[in-house]
Amino acid sequence: MLSTSILWSGLAKSSGVGRVTYKRIPIPHVATDDVIPCDGLDDTRTVRTIIMGCEFRFNEVLDCDKIHAALARLLEIGEWRKLGGRLRLNKASGRLEFHVPDQFTRGRPAVRYSHIRYHDIDMEQHPRMAAHFPHPTTTPSVQSGFDQYIDLLEPDQSLHKFEDYLCSDHPLLSLHTLSFRDATVLVLKWPHAMTDAMGRHALLRNWSYVLAGHIDKVQPLMGGLEHKGSDVTTEIAKLDPEPPSELEVAGHQRLTGIGMLLFIMRFIWVLLFGGKVVPKVLFVPAATIKVLKDEAQRDLGISEGLAKRKELPPRLSEGDILTAWLARLSLLSSSTRSVAIMTVVDMRRRLRCIFGQQPGPTGPVWVQNLTSVAMAHTTVQSLLTNPLGETARHIRSAVQEQTTPEFVARCVRSFHSLPPSQRPGLYAKSDSILVAVSNWHCAKFFDVFDVSRAIVAGDHRPSSSGIQWPTESRPGKPVAVVPVGFSDNPELRNSWGVMGKDAAGNYWMQGMCTEATWKAIEKELGRLGRGER
């Protein structure tokens, strides 16, 4: 167990001239901790800066202590202990590490847990939550982001930066819960270095197994204590049979030299004068999704006659159409420039030769960062004037070309060849506006997270707010999943996180855009809601 001096050594006092300054000191290594090096994709400059979070709303009263106990129990099982570790930086190698206590105790728990009770009021009777927590609407809507009530989502706001983890003995995972008379909100928080969306899918699934009493179903975690030092991305890189060469993505080489300098200068100019980025939630009902799909299909000329002649264009997924639509929305208030649309893709589902069938209820899981990016290049003018289906098809082609096992392996091998300070590379024009879309629908957060065993019997009562939550939702399944950003990262400008579909087929997503862009988006949604296209 750590001594009090170590637990509180995050701040060290030193004397300055005429004032007192404080220097942050990383927590010393504990000799009994197991040390697991971070895999390559877990330790990039961008990933280090991001502290992530996610809210789950349940329209039932839940036993939060039971839910916490199940998560803590999961992190005691086999290789899952890795997720109960502490984030540390190896000064000699410059690499991140997970330091896992040999035994979790009250002083060094597997999970940082807190619980606030509002048992005497409904959730919509809480002034802040009623005013700002996102909810379903009959037409597409822009709603408040987490910044309007972030102080309610964490107990002491002490973990907002990468250094906050290095200079404290807090575990990777934090669970904060809020109980109301008619609902419960669970807030999960972690550094991005821990995992990506599909890793969270595995975490939620196996957490649900333990809560339901099915410890025998818990899937083995790869990359844990028994595999420390073995990076699965090394195996991925071997899938590329071609000799090493300069990587080219969608006809673009990695920006370097003058090109990269110009890109950085434009980016800094936008940061200074382009308006502050504001997080907001975009709720899109199932009926609107159908309208967008029908529009994209018409754009591509899919008709009964073409179908009979088997002259169909590449199949478009909802993800392709949403990415095209969100990219268009992001730039409604922008000038004419090049655009690079970045679609975040999961490696697990595309490299079955290494990962097997993912995601699935059985077999091993990898709770870490295993994503790549597919780049589609266009211009603001083309994005705003071309038919939606045409842009979606362009994105679909880019994804198909850049997610083959060989191409993913080539990207990983190129990643390994670069020094940490240059990772990841940017394959775009020097004047490109970056638009990033990370679609987590495949992670099925609304489906896989099941806390029905924690429902408090007899305490459920319908909400009096008048909000029409989907009646298709099963008890114990989340009715809203909302991302939370606990770190201030300017690179997230024009970025979207698509949380996925709820039980009624409605999409929940969050965007990082300027107020000017949000106003333009609201006008566009108004036209869409009135059937004007």
Distances (CA, A) of 520 to 106, 273, 527: 50, 18, 11
Contact (Cβ atoms closer than 8 angstroms) between residue 191 and residue 367? no
Of 68, 126, 135, 192, the catalytic one is 192
Contact (Cβ atoms closer than 8 angstroms) between residue 417 and residue 240? no
**Residue 128: CB atoms within 10 Å:** 12
Pairing of strands 184-191, 174-180: antiparallel
Strands (E), 84-137: 86-89, 96-100, 112-118
**Residue 473: CB atoms within 10 Å:** 17
Closest CA to 404 of 359, 363, 357, 345: 345
Pairing of strands 141-143, 277-284: antiparallel
Which residue is it, tokens 């939630």? Answer: 281
- CA 413-417-420 angle, 5° bins: 115
Determine the Cα–Cα distance for residues 392 and 398; give it in Å rounded to an integer: 10
Determine the Cα–Cα distance for residues 270 and 276; give it in Å rounded to an integer: 9
List, as one string, the DSSP characters of 77-90: SGGGGGGG-EEEE-
The residue count of the chain comes to: 533
Distances (CA, A) of 38 to 89, 110, 165, 172, 302: 10, 18, 15, 13, 47
Determine the Cα–Cα distance for residues 351 and 238; give it in Å rounded to an integer: 12
Closest CA to 441 of 204, 206, 198: 198
Determine the Cα–Cα distance for residues 396 and 319; give it in Å rounded to an integer: 9
- CA 95-417-415 angle, 5° bins: 75
29 catalytic, yes or no?
Answer: no
Determine the Cα–Cα distance for residues 328 and 521; give it in Å rounded to an integer: 9
Residues with catalytic annotation? 192
